[in-house]
């Protein structure tokens, strides 16, 4: 059951977005890039998803403690890729949790980089746990690989109990207006005039999402593959690491359609025609024809 009731949201406190799932992020109305770390508490155990950057750590940890959890109850830190906006606070978490059984879970190729942040934790790859993380209660997180969206080892995480899909940078956004839950006016859903807002709004949250993907995702092929893999999962809500949580089926469907149809994503924005990369003078360049 997802709780998207936005009345009286207090961003100074952890926000329970579904049963046992808390948003524990840093809120700054002026920041364009909001990071969304999440905490899942299940009985006496907890896992932190994409814990956040070093400057945000004090706020994130304060909110974790406000849920009533004690640091040693955090069994695992899950990182859906290795960027500093997710992983920068790993040493801070290790210092405060102080447990030799703390596990850092990520894809094998991401762990290669994540180990440079960590001093003491056990590294566990999602391959090693057969793409599942199980709490003692049986509550299960499922990991789905989304390679190169945007990192080689990127994956998304599905909480079967709540229906929440944690998507890291996919469905992320960079924008100056931010709410924890994405709301669109009825006339904005299925809008096809994204370059010029028919309602003359200064900020278009859909454009913010599309622009983020065009810049952050390496290619159209990688993004489409990730979207395809996500659609195989029976999720009911999307919780990205940037931007807003999406719970409305129509909004989700509309954004999927828009992302799928983007032509210029990542390197495709820069190299429009691969044939323009001409290597006919390669031998000349190295003078190898003379030998
Ligand atoms: Fe990233
Ligand atoms: Fe990110």
- How do the domains of the chain map onto residue ranges? 15-271
Instruction: Please give the pLDDT value at position 26.
Output: 87
Long-range contacts of 217-220 (CB under 8 A, 24+ apart): 217/148, 217/149, 217/150, 217/169, 217/265, 217/266, 218/148, 218/149, 218/150, 218/265, 218/266, 218/267, 219/148, 219/265, 219/266, 219/267, 219/268, 220/262, 220/263, 220/264, 220/265, 220/266, 220/268
Distance, in Å, from the CA atom of 205 to the CA atom of 258, rounded to the nearest integer, reads: 12
Omega before 150 within 30 of 0, i.e. cis: yes
CA of 150 from ligand 1 middle (Å) equals 7
For the residues 87-95, what does the mean pLDDT come to?
Answer: 97
* pLDDT over threshold 60, residue 117: yes
Long-range contacts of 129-134 (CB under 8 A, 24+ apart): 129/105, 133/47, 133/76, 133/78, 133/105
Q: 124: CA distance to ligand 2 center in Å?
A: 21
What lies within 8 Å, CB to CB, of 192 at 6+ separation is: none
Residues 6+ apart with CB under 8 A from 60: 24, 25, 26, 37, 51, 52, 89
Q: Please tell me the distance between residue 276's alpha carbon and the centre of ligand 2 in angstroms.
A: 32
Q: What is the torsional sign of CA 280, 282, 288, 290? A: positive
Ligand with minimal distance to 243 CA: 2
Q: Which residue has the higher pLDDT, 119 or 15?
A: 15
45 CB contacts (<8 Å, ≥6 apart)?
73, 75, 135, 136
Q: Which ligand sits closest to the CA of 34? A: 2
Q: Using pLDDT thresholds of 50, 70 and 90, give the confidence band for residue 195.
A: confident
CB within 8 Å of 103: residues ≥ 6 apart: 75, 76, 77, 121, 122, 123, 124
Ligand 2 center to 63 CA (angstroms): 20
Name the pLDDT band for 291 (thresholds 50, 70, 90): low
Query: Looking at the CA of 50, which ligand is closest?
Result: 2
CA of 75 to the centre of ligand 2 (A): 23
pLDDT tens digit sequence for 152-162: 999 999 999 99
CA of 87 to the centre of ligand 2 (A): 10
DSSP conformational letter for 120: S
| Predicted local distance difference test score (pLDDT) of residue 6 | 66
Distance CA 227, CA 5 (A): 27
Ligand 2 center to residue 81 CA distance, Å? 9
Q: Which residues surround ligand 1, an ion (CB under 5 A)?
A: 83, 169
What are 244-270's pLDDT values in tens digits?
999 999 999 999 999 999 999 999 999
Phi, psi angles (nearest 5°) of residue 108: -50, -45
**How close is the Cα of 278 to the center of ligand 1, in Å?**
32
**What number does CATH give the domain 15-271?**
3.60.15.10
Kindly give the distance from the C-alpha atom of residue 80 to the centroid of ligand 2, in angstroms, as a whole number. Answer: 10
Tens of pLDDT, residue by residue over 31-84, are 767 899 999 999 999 999 999 999 999 999 999 999 999 999 999 999 999 999
Lowest mean pLDDT among 25-34, 116-125, 156-165, 243-252: 25-34
Residue 237 · residue 182 · CB < 8 Å: no
Cα 107 to averaged position of ligand 2 atoms, centre (Å): 16
Averaged pLDDT, 110-134: 95
What's the pTM? 0.95
Q: Which ligand is nearest to the CA of 83?
A: 1
Query: 217 CA distance to ligand 1 centroid (A)?
Result: 9
Quote the CA–CA distance of 200 and 238 in Å, as a whole number. Answer: 28
Distance 240 CA to ligand 2 centre (A): 9
What local confidence, expressed as pLDDT, does residue 178 receive?
85
Largest CA distance in the chain: 77
* 120 Cα to the center of ligand 1, angstroms: 24
CA atoms within 13 A on the CB side of 10: 5
Distance 280 CA to ligand 2 centre (A): 39
């Amino acid at each position: 059951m997802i709780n998207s009731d936005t009345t009286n949201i207090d961003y100074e406190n952890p926000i329970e977005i579904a049963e046992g799932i808390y948003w524990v992020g840093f809120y700054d109305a002026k920041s364009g890039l909001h990071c969304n770390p999440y905490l899942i508490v299940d009985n006496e155990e907890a896992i932190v998803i994409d814990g956040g950057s070093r400057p945000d750590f004090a706020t994130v940890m304060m909110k974790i403690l406000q849920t009533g959890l004690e640091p040693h109850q955090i069994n695992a830190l899950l990182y859906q890729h290795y960027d500093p906006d997710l992983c920068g606070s790993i040493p801070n978490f290790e210092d405060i949790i102080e447990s030799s059984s703390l596990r850092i879970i990520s894809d094998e190729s991401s762990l290669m980089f994540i180990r440079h942040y960590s001093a003491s934790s056990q590294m566990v790859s999602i391959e090693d746990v057969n793409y599942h993380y199980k709490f003692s209660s049986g509550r299960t997180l499922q990991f789905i690989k989304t390679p190169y969206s945007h990192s080689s080892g990127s994956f998304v995480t599905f909480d079967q109990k709540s229906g929440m899909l944690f998507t890291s940078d996919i469905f992320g956004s960079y924008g100056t207006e931010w709410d924890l839950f994405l709301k669109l006016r009825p006339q904005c859903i299925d809008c096809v005039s994204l370059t010029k807002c028919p309602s003359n709004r200064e900020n278009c949250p859909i454009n913010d999402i599309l622009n983020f993907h065009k810049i952050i995702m390496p290619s159209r092929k990688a993004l489409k593959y990730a979207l395809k893999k996500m659609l195989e999962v029976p999720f009911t809500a999307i919780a990205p690491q940037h931007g807003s949580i999406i719970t409305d089926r129509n909004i989700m469907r509309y954004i999927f359609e828009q992302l799928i149809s983007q032509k210029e994503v990542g390197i495709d924005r820069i190299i429009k025609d691969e044939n323009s990369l001409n290597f006919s003078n390669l031998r000349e360049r190295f003078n190898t024809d003379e030998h």
